[in-house]
Structure 1
Amino acid sequence: MFSKSTFLVIISLLGSMALSGCDGDTGGDRAQGVESTPPPASGTPPTSPPPVPLPPPSNGLIESGDIVEGDTIATGFSGVVIEQSLTLTFNLMVNGNSQIVDLGSSNARFTLAKLIANPGDSQGQSWTSYFITSEDPICRSQADIDDSNNACTSFSTETDPELIDDTAKKVQNISALGKAVLTQATSDNNGQFENNGDGTWSYTFPFQFADVPTLTEVHRSCIQFSFNADVENICVDFVPAEVVIATDGISGTSLSDSFYQTHNARQIVTEATCNTCHDKLAIHGGGRTQTDYCVTCHNPDSNDSNSGNSVDFKQLVHKIHFGRNLQNFVDDGKPYTIWGYRNGEHNYSTTSYPQNVMNCGRCHAGDEDVLFSQTQMIPEPMAQLTKDGHSWVASPTKQACESCHEKLFTEGIRLNGEEFTLHISYTEETNCAGCHADLGAETPDAKQANQAHRDSAIEKAIAYAMNIESVINTGPGESPIVTFNVTENGTPIDIKTFDGKIRVGVAWDAASDFDNEGLSGFDALNIEIDAITESILKEGSNNSFVLDIATVGLTPKTIPDGQDSVAVLMLGHANGPETTATSFDDVSPIKSPIEFFAGSAATVTPRRMIVSIDKCNSCHNRFSMVEKGHVNFHAVPSGEPLVCASCHGASLGFGEYADFRYLIHGVHASDIREEPYRGEFSENIRFPGNLANCDTCHIEGTTQLPLAFNTPIFTGITDQYTTVTATTCSSCHDSAEAQTHMISTGGAKFNEGYDLVQSTTESCALCHGPGEAADVEVVHKR
């Protein structure tokens, strides 16, 4: 009988051990947080930092148990020594001047892996861990079965799982039954810790390399620290044979500036890229934040024994992001599921990727991908460039491709459902690059990965532009006349022959977030007109068209009195070859323009800018709302939040709030709301970031109270309105308790008549305003 937590196998000679996945505090099914802007799409690939200098003389000592949340912990490697055993030296300082005096196994765990060639003819390399453990999907005793934690950590590898009755399976799920004992990579903290007395510590691994001069592969060791304050993982790459020869602890390691000039370390994706959506990427309880660390355990042969699924990093990440659309789930109802720490089930069938999953350059890219985009005149990758970021094109593998194309290698079925049996005989040893060769940027063929993953709908969309040339008659009681054009690759086109939709909209009361006074309910979508049908060619022009709203058969067609500013906007999309009333995934949304004009006032007051489209695109790449209502009812809005807000104003609602601020918050906050907003639509959305960080989406400083206006917000129920601050806050905080607080403390009104709500002044800012005890900017960043 062995304990899972201590079952550590250290194989002699070269220390070449089986691959495996992380143990310990595993189980997080997504990260917390979102960066506000994407990393640069070009620039110098990241390299390992130089050696960390010894800290200045200490002004104090501190025990690990005395470290508290908010303390700053600085750490980094300063040397690698190999004398048969591997010793790592690293500095560890708290708040700049205090040395930790009692570092031990409860505070740190260490991984060690080496980079080896993929098997057979397969191109590329993979990490393989030196430390393994076993995971057993079987409970061995009734005590295990009855364990309230359902941990089942006591097992025997000699017992055949097929001989164990299903009632003894520790995970009672159809996906877990009949599985066998499998290996997972793990970490080590059973070696020797040594306090060097100068702010640095050394750790010596508890095994010896058998023949160090023969170890010419790149190795990586990482440390995860566990304190009551945040501290990043740190990693160092090195070649053992070179370290032994150098003897200075620096040469032959990534602590040397020249290391990556002569060594490859499979630098593909960075946490900086991940954190443009995940703020921050913090898995397994929050202690694992660096992708370099993740890959030292998430190796190709690391598996979850309860599901039989691989937890190889590339497969894990691809499947999680494609979870809702994986073929095994869509076709057969079998979700991608991983059982983590204490056998917690993590079902990824509801996860989704907020952009086209074919956009591989969003997560990993190299200089070659930038050149490809520039040569082919398509959008450049948004990922932070890395030295090996182009390997998805240069060295494709079955493991990587099969993570999305689940049935291609087993049943010969493509993602679009077509039969294609050529790949059924292919194994992990197959040289995929033989057919899917990287032919470069000038003349790629259809099988080249970055050519095959091009998004034709987006490429078509960016070729078009809608342009508002002029607008007149925007005063009270007037009907605007709009002159506009649509260009394709810069040349104005005849919209009468355009295959798609072009619509012109007019909204007002922009200074009060588009109240669109005089309209309500479903009719509050502002004035919106089919520009292809209703416009006429401007005489003598180069495909400029004029839309006179006075001639259009709709009500209203004039601007109401008292509207300071009027907005004119355009919506449009080109149809794809398969676009129908029920099939519209291939439409190409054109960026929506919006311009503001004076109404009853002498000067223009645009609608306040509080969110950034660049921040939206950190996750959405090129934000557009392609869904049935937009495609069939009007056209697809794209690339401009103010256009969305012009329809989804204070007076819009149909059954539920449709006001833009409530809609956006309600959809993104599905994980914390007590009642899902608009049912399945939001139930299937999992925000990957920190909902408390308003600056994820908002322009800094725009979320403060009080709001500048007091517009009643229509609830979607006839003659029922809610005060504006309460609407905004209750879109996330929708519990009865929260609403009671807003009413009793803030004076909010919910579901009341228009006049009562309009005459109400909320007092939320007395507590939640700038500098107050519960400043919204402060409490949302705790």
Structure 2
Amino acid sequence: MTSFGRISIMACLLALLVACGGSGGGDRATGVEPGPTPPGGPVAPPEPDLPQASPTPYAEAEALFPFITAVDIPDDGRPLVDFQLSDAANTAITDLSSADVRFIIARLAPVPEGNLTGNWQSYINRIEQPGVGPGTESRLQATTESNGVFTNNGDGTYRYQFATSITDLPQDILAQANSEGLDLAYQPELTHRVAIQFSNGREPANPDYDWVPASGATENIFRRDIAATPNCNRCHDQLALHGGGRVEINYCVTCHNPGSTDANSGNSVDMKVMIHKIHRGADLPSVQAGGEYVIYGFRDSKHDYSDVNYPQDIRRCVNCHAGTATGADRDDLVLTAQGDNWAQYPSIAACGSCHDDLDFSRHAGGQEDNSRCASCHAEDGRAGSIQDSHRIAFEEAREAFKAEVISVENSSPGEQATVSFRVSNPLTGEDYDLANDPVWQQSNSSLNVRVAWDTRDYHNTGNNADNASSIAANALTSALPRGDGSYSVTMPLPIPDASVGPGIPASGSGVAVIEGHPAVAIDDGGSPASIPVGDAHAFFSIDEPDGLPVPRRQAVEINKCLACHGSLVLHGNNRADNIDNCVSCHNPRNTDRETRSIARTPPTDGKQEETLDFKHIVHGIHAASIREQPLQLVGFRGFTTYVYDEQTVHYPGRLDNCLACHTDDGFSLPLAAGVLATTIDTGDDHRDPRDDTVVTAMSSACSGCHDDAVARAHMSSNGGNFATTQQAVDNGDVVEQCAVCHGEGRSQDVSVVHRVRELP
């Protein structure tokens, strides 16, 4: 193990319980029983009629399909909302009650920056009084209501009449709004939105309905569609806040708008401000200077986002909001109508949320509002375009490098394998000259060829080292040109045969990997930066009967990793975006024993060594919030001890959704044949795995998350063993029986217990 970089996980927004007037968190207002027929007479069922099938109980519906069919603002100003509800089979749900729903209505007012942007303002608000935290002033805060007139028509259609008259708001609300410079006047010529929150069922839902009250139009109207929920769910799987009932961005923004503030902290809960600040978290200039970023939520609970470590470059704005100009090359994103606004409309609120050390009263001569921002922050402005200011030069430099393994020869046991490869520039189509091109001649330039065995489960026994890492050759000093722009490297050690200690020959198939980093000047006048070349790999036969290599099993997908991480670059930028390289060293036989023995800051877990097995540590890192003891690993040369605890790691998704990382069958039990048990003690002979103490394979994978005594006892009582040998496993003396219950199709199938599903 050459290093172990910190993996920072995106803010877990599940913790955010901003006081928006109640939710599944427990502050839901008491509902009103169905009353008399509301003004306007009985509600006719929408066309087409809902199917006349046996009703599905609301509490049992596995999926909800709500649809708002109409909204009207009568003379009394109390909006009327008609909606229908069915399940996944399109069967009407007829037992919805007022306790299961909450409603909000807001209008979309244009702003001076441009005709493609605007701000939502809720008509439903409350006044929050400061009670804890540094806040000293009462503030207006958007909320929802459920105390209006709720009518169940008995056929899967419903009507709700708001208790609040949006044309005659309470005087205390209007006075508070006036004191904050907010306009709550009903403006029927503007786009309005009604949204509903469904709670108390198996799955939440948040339908919304946009229209212009003055005309009744629902098409070709002014809208604000900045971020798409599926883009959030690429990491958050699923975005579920305030007790889990709020899952759609279109619903979130009706409350989280510029007119809402947390009175306890004094911080705005406007979506564009709050979300930027949460995601930047520990890197906010104000936090770096010793401050904190907190929001006080449900029952004045303090939520501190000052230690949130975003797992990728914060300047990759397009991950959350993308339009046809900024996201055209991203087929993994949902593009929205105003998804390009981040690059076109600078504002004090949006820009100042990340750059919170800016004093806009002094910035560029002083800025009172947003009217002059675009004069500098534009393509032809003195500060350049917003998009150019958020360029990630490091990643742009990576586009000029591509490695390729061409062939592996002489790879039988006892032979020194020869690996042929090339490194080219995809932008020009030219191959690099490793001996003369400047990017390969800097002191921090690196290019290595590595070989590992075998693909049933890497172990690298016979690598002539006290660890189980792959063997390496320095390509910059040992590569020979082949005359066509490619190179070859002969590995310094032979593929092990029985003549090499500990006398265990390699067999099956192996892998050859190219890794490293040229040194590229990406900043004017700056030192050359180490740019990952982009790992490449190829499998080769060691002694396969037909001579054809057998690839290692694919249990996870790198693109799923990159959905959150953007770029998975670790170990001093030597290794990048290649799981087959990761697992060649992070194998069941490798531990941090060597680095732990010289750790500058020794771990506090009392262990002499910790496994580096991928199937255990990646689970352990991401599951910091549920582990009883945080995983601790010692990195390169003992410089750093990494403690993956709740303060360091905030996994943003559902830990039990294995598909967030795994292939469709990569998490199923039993594990693939040949998967090794995990070494936890390398024994007296560090080069011989036969005296290792191991944890059986399935128990190793599962205990990465489930490390408490009860879980371990459950595994042990079903054949798992936390102190055995590989020989005992191979001989059948130790047999894990996990798959009897947790196997595919069994009563406790992993996919059922973990509620596995495809990402939204």
- The bucket for the TM-score relative to the shorter chain is 0.7 to 0.9
Moved more, 497-506 or 386-395: 497-506
Aligned partner of 1:404 among 354, 360, 379: 354
The number of residues matched between the two structures is: 651
Paired with 2:383 and 2:475, the residues of 1 have a C-alpha distance of: 37
Find the counterpart in structure 2 of residue 246 from structure 1: none
Find the counterpart in structure 1 of residue 363 from structure 2: 422
**Structure 2 CA distance for partners of 1:326 and 1:576, relative to 1, 3 Å:** farther
Paired with 1:696 and 1:57, the residues of 2 have a C-alpha distance of: 35
Match of 2:21, SS state, is coil
Counterparts of residues 39-54 of structure 1 (less than 5 Å): 53-54=47-48
Paired with 2:199 and 2:458, the residues of 1 have a C-alpha distance of: 50
| Cα distance, 1:562 vs structure 2 | 4.0
Match of 1:772, SS state, is coil
Paired with 2:557 and 2:382, the residues of 1 have a C-alpha distance of: 37
Find the counterpart in structure 2 of residue 39 from structure 1: none
Paired with 1:604 and 1:118, the residues of 2 have a C-alpha distance of: 62
| Cα distance, 1:119 vs structure 2 | 6.3
Find the counterpart in structure 1 of residue 748 from structure 2: 774
| Cα distance, 1:222 vs structure 2 | 0.6
Asked if 2 retains the 8 angstrom alpha-carbon contact of 1:61 and 1:100, the reply is: yes
- CA deviation string 1:213-249 (max 9, x = no partner): 9621111111112233324111111111112xxxxxx
- CA deviation string 1:522-547 (max 9, x = no partner): 63111012211222223xx1432221
Moved more, 450-459 or 673-682: 673-682
Match of 2:326, SS state, is helix
Paired with 1:729 and 1:551, the residues of 2 have a C-alpha distance of: 36
Paired with 2:151 and 2:24, the residues of 1 have a C-alpha distance of: 28
Paired with 1:197 and 1:768, the residues of 2 have a C-alpha distance of: 42
Paired with 1:523 and 1:194, the residues of 2 have a C-alpha distance of: 70
**Structure 2 CA distance for partners of 1:678 and 1:716, relative to 1, 3 Å:** farther
TM-score relative to the length of structure 2: 0.79
Match of 1:317, SS state, is helix
| Cα distance, 1:96 vs structure 2 | 3.9
| Cα distance, 1:491 vs structure 2 | 0.8
2:459 maps to 1:515: yes
Find the counterpart in structure 1 of residue 417 from structure 2: 480
| Cα distance, 1:724 vs structure 2 | 1.4
Moved more, 183-192 or 269-278: 183-192
Counterparts of residues 570-581 of structure 1 (less than 5 Å): 570-577=514-521
Asked if 2 retains the 8 angstrom alpha-carbon contact of 1:656 and 1:717, the reply is: no
Asked if 1 retains the 8 angstrom alpha-carbon contact of 2:510 and 2:541, the reply is: yes
| 1:394 counterpart letter in structure 2 | Q
Paired with 1:178 and 1:280, the residues of 2 have a C-alpha distance of: 32
Paired with 2:700 and 2:186, the residues of 1 have a C-alpha distance of: 68
| 2:491 counterpart letter in structure 1 | I
2:562 maps to 1:623: no
**Structure 2 CA distance for partners of 1:25 and 1:753, relative to 1, 3 Å:** same
Find the counterpart in structure 1 of residue 650 from structure 2: 686
**Structure 2 CA distance for partners of 1:187 and 1:57, relative to 1, 3 Å:** same
Counterparts of residues 70-89 of structure 1 (less than 5 Å): 70-84=61-75, 85=77, 86-89=79-82
Paired with 2:423 and 2:400, the residues of 1 have a C-alpha distance of: 10
Aligned partner of 1:464 among 397, 401, 404: 401
Find the counterpart in structure 2 of residue 336 from structure 1: 293
Match of 2:343, SS state, is helix
Find the counterpart in structure 2 of residue 595 from structure 1: 538
Paired with 1:668 and 1:212, the residues of 2 have a C-alpha distance of: 47
**Structure 2 CA distance for partners of 1:393 and 1:674, relative to 1, 3 Å:** same
- CA deviation string 1:397-449 (max 9, x = no partner): 110011110102269xxxxxxxxx6347223444322221256xxxx986211
Aligned partner of 1:492 among 422, 428, 431: 431
Find the counterpart in structure 2 of residue 715 from structure 1: 680
| Cα distance, 1:586 vs structure 2 | 5.2
Paired with 2:727 and 2:335, the residues of 1 have a C-alpha distance of: 56
Find the counterpart in structure 1 of residue 211 from structure 2: 238
Find the counterpart in structure 2 of residue 662 from structure 1: 616
**Structure 2 CA distance for partners of 1:665 and 1:392, relative to 1, 3 Å:** same
| 1:111 counterpart letter in structure 2 | I
| 2:359 counterpart letter in structure 1 | F
Paired with 1:234 and 1:228, the residues of 2 have a C-alpha distance of: 15
**Structure 2 CA distance for partners of 1:303 and 1:22, relative to 1, 3 Å:** same
| Cα distance, 1:23 vs structure 2 | 2.0
CA RMSD, 1 decimal: 3.2
**Structure 2 CA distance for partners of 1:99 and 1:598, relative to 1, 3 Å:** closer
| 1:434 counterpart letter in structure 2 | S
| Cα distance, 1:53 vs structure 2 | 3.9
| Cα distance, 1:130 vs structure 2 | 0.9
Asked if 1 retains the 8 angstrom alpha-carbon contact of 2:560 and 2:661, the reply is: yes
Find the counterpart in structure 2 of residue 561 from structure 1: 505
Find the counterpart in structure 1 of residue 6 from structure 2: none
- CA deviation string 1:633-687 (max 9, x = no partner): xx52112211100111121101211011112111111111111112754221111
Match of 2:314, SS state, is coil
**Structure 2 CA distance for partners of 1:276 and 1:239, relative to 1, 3 Å:** same
**Structure 2 CA distance for partners of 1:61 and 1:730, relative to 1, 3 Å:** closer
- CA deviation string 1:104-139 (max 9, x = no partner): 2x222111111113369999411111121111123x
Asked if 2 retains the 8 angstrom alpha-carbon contact of 1:52 and 1:77, the reply is: no
- CA deviation string 1:155-208 (max 9, x = no partner): xxxxxxxxxxxxxxxx3xxxx135222111111233322334543222223315
2:712 maps to 1:739: yes
| 1:388 counterpart letter in structure 2 | Q
2:245 maps to 1:306: no
2:234 maps to 1:290: no
Paired with 1:313 and 1:663, the residues of 2 have a C-alpha distance of: 35
Paired with 1:61 and 1:482, the residues of 2 have a C-alpha distance of: 66
Moved more, 529-538 or 341-350: 529-538
Paired with 2:626 and 2:286, the residues of 1 have a C-alpha distance of: 29
Aligned partner of 2:312 among 355, 365, 371: 355
| 1:677 counterpart letter in structure 2 | L
Match of 1:277, SS state, is helix
Match of 2:515, SS state, is strand
Paired with 1:482 and 1:545, the residues of 2 have a C-alpha distance of: 8
Return 5+ residue gaps in structure 2 as ranges.
Answer: 1-17, 27-44, 169-183, 593-608, 634-641, 684-691
2:547 maps to 1:609: no
**Structure 2 CA distance for partners of 1:313 and 1:520, relative to 1, 3 Å:** farther
Aligned partner of 1:704 among 668, 671, 674: 668
Aligned partner of 1:390 among 332, 335, 340: 340
Paired with 2:579 and 2:147, the residues of 1 have a C-alpha distance of: 54
| Cα distance, 1:296 vs structure 2 | 0.5
**Structure 2 CA distance for partners of 1:646 and 1:745, relative to 1, 3 Å:** same
Asked if 1 retains the 8 angstrom alpha-carbon contact of 2:62 and 2:202, the reply is: yes
TM-score relative to the length of structure 1: 0.77
| Cα distance, 1:271 vs structure 2 | 0.7
Find the counterpart in structure 1 of residue 49 from structure 2: 55
Asked if 2 retains the 8 angstrom alpha-carbon contact of 1:113 and 1:129, the reply is: yes
